Structure 1
């Protein structure tokens, strides 16, 4: 059971995340300072830095958490499952749990608006992509482990993960910039896009006349 002190620390961390995201959404990431975030929660700048290295870390906290939860769920899937099926099934299975995890920290609509902020803020988008590349490499190694191949010798794990995560990023851009962005919209768009992965890679498209 989490102790009182730990719960208090978590509440402070979560309050900083919510305050930061509200400021990023309303006045922009670049225009927001650490002092403003700390002031919104009525804590000192020093307290902010106990929880986060900088405002980039607080801005990307939820996105990084979601990626970590997905990776952990992939690792828990049955080893005999085909790699692409594993990646797609995990996404569908953990969607609701991820939504709950996000909502325990911040309202979902604020999370979705923050996704839009990341997409239109070059420095945040670059940082998000850097972190995602590290997570992709972990997925590559997990796919290689599950299939019994050496990712340094066999290109298939990296090709698969690159294709899958590329589709995921494309879907995220599509739903996050829609005026009706919601968790259900995100789920539908993501399902539609990932469902096209196998046909796009393995089917004969034929020629358009």
Structure 2
């Protein structure tokens, strides 16, 4: 059970994250300072650094929360599911819980706008891609554990996760730059692209 102190710390972190996202999406990442974020919550700069290493970490905070939930969902998938199916179902079945995680901090529309800020800010995009590599390694180890494999001796867990992550990255790019910029649009696009993995990798693309 959470203590009063833990709840207070969580509220402060959420408030800082909420203020950061609001400022990043209204005035831009580069124009936003740590001092401005702290001031918006009426705390000191020192307090900000108790929760985030820098403003880049605050900018990626919502994504980190959703990724953490996704990794947990993969761990919890039924043991009989094949690796790619477990990854697919974890992201699609967990959509509502991820939505709720975001809404506990900011309106989902603001989360969507933050996605565009990340994609259009080189330093944030680089940090996002770097973290994605770390997540891929974590997922590969989760899959290997599920399948009873040694991740360093058998390449299949890393290959499966690399394919899945590639599909998700293509989906993100299409979604952020496309006309259907909504949560429903992202869900539909993710489902459609994941369904193409088998045909794209194994099927013939040439018309008879």
**Cα deviations by residue, 1:133-162 (Å, 9 ceiling, x for unpaired):** 111001111212222232223222111110
- Classify 1:134/1:185 alpha carbon distance in 2 versus 1 (closer, same or farther; 3 Å): same
**Residue 40 of structure 2 corresponds to residue 18 of structure 1:** no
- Structure 2 length as normaliser, TM-score? 0.94
1:176 deviates by 2.2
Question: Structure 1, residues 68-109: CA drift from partner, whole Å, max 9, x if none?
Answer: 111111111122211111111111111100100110011101
Shift of residue 204, structure 1, vs aligned partner: 2.3
Give me the TM-score of the superposition, normalised by structure 1. 0.94
Structure 2 unaligned spans of 5+: none
RMSD, aligned α-carbons? 1.5
Partner of 2:110: 110
Secondary structure at the counterpart of residue 94 of structure 2: helix
Deviation at 1:45, TM superposition (A): 0.8
1:46-195 maps to which residues of 2 (within 5 A)? 46-178=46-178, 180-195=180-195
116 and 208 in structure 1: CA distance in 2 versus 1, 3 angstrom threshold: same
**After superposition, where does 1:30-41 map in structure 2 within 5 Å?**
30-41=30-41
In structure 1, list runs of 5 or more residues that go unmatched.
none
Aligned residues: 208
Counterpart Cα distance in 1 of 2:46 and 2:202:
54
Q: Is structure 2 residue 201 aligned with structure 1 residue 201?
A: yes
List 4+ stretches of structure 1 deviating above 6 A. none
In structure 1, distance between residues paired with 2:38 and 2:177: 29
